[in-house]
Amino acid sequence: MNFWKNKKVVITGGAGFLGKFLVREIKQRGCRSIFVPRSHEYDLRKISAIRRLLKQADPDIIIHAAAVVGGIGANRENPGKFFYDNLMMGVQLIEQARLFQVPKLVAIGTICAYPKFCPVPFKEDSIWDGYPEETNAAYGLAKKMLLVQSQAYRQQYGFNSIYLSPVNLYGPGDNFSLTTSHVIPALIRKCVEAKQNGAPSITVWGTGKPTREFLYVEDAARGIVLAAEKYNKIASVNIGTGQEISIKDLAVLIMKLTGFKGRVIWDASKPDGQPRRHLDVSHAQKEFGFKAKVGLQEGLKKTIQWYVKNHG
């Protein structure tokens, strides 16, 4: 609790899905000075906006959680935008933070940076063993460059920048748009609406065969905050549960939890994305004592309840 007491913290993306939980977690740990830059006031793609932000906030810690992100469809339609926006925000923020002598920066990376055919479970060192899955490669590579930059800046300048790789997040407040959302909110919305409308089936992209690992957003925020407190090394760290589930089994589980009794039509003309995602999470537990607490079924129940209350 004492760590945060007198710290001035900037959380980019602090008004977003993950960011709101980061703000709450840090407040609960005693921080009284949290600055959340909004994109309409601080366009982090522009150096002038970043410099203005750092002059005003004078932070002790920056948690860079801002990202332009979406599911497979959004990644396929916006690879240029996802690459440019994410790269420019991150690279320029880290450089300006170094110039302003910010004591610590936490860069939030992505599981999409790992190779398409990565040995399971994904170990942090495997991130360099191949090219990312094509549909999200532009986003994944933009984020992976922040790892390169963090390591290079630590080596040359002694700048304390750490890089974390969270697995797929979900939870209350997620993006439930069917055009830009990830798989869990999309399935929840489809099942809830199908049940309400008496529809006999829902259509889901791909074959259902790929596996994914999912981390409840509150757990993710806790893991990131623990790393901000305790981790100051050059190696990237995975943040996840260490548990994988097939998309088919995930769909069955969400149908059960929402009470939708229809069937799933799998649209195999649409891409599956990466074949498997499953992290080795031992590094996070060893280095800063993080272990996920919320199981998938419990997390899904909370997320469904939130969606029905707010959108149902």
Looking at the annotation, which residues are catalytic? 139
From residue 204, alpha-carbon distances to 61, 100, 147, 170, 222 in Å are 41, 47, 34, 18, 32
Q: Cα dist. 239→81, 164, 213 in Å?
A: 26, 7, 11
The SS3 assignment for 244 reads coil
Location of structure tokens 């810690």: 61
Q: How far is 280 from 265, CA to CA, in rounded Å?
A: 32
Residues 116 and 132 sit within 8 Å (Cβ to Cβ)? yes
What is d(CA 66, CA 90) in angstroms, rounded to the nearest whole number?
A: 9
Contact 242, 278 (CB under 8 A): yes
Closest CA to 262 of 205, 165, 190, 194: 194
Helix, strand, coil percentages in the chain from 3-state DSSP, rounded to 5: 45, 15, 35
Fill in the DSSP letter of residue 3.
T
H/E segment holding residue 162: strand 161-166
Chain centroid to CA 264: how far?
A: 27
Give the position of tokens 């992100």.
69
Instruction: Extract the tokens encoding 182.
Output: 């990830």
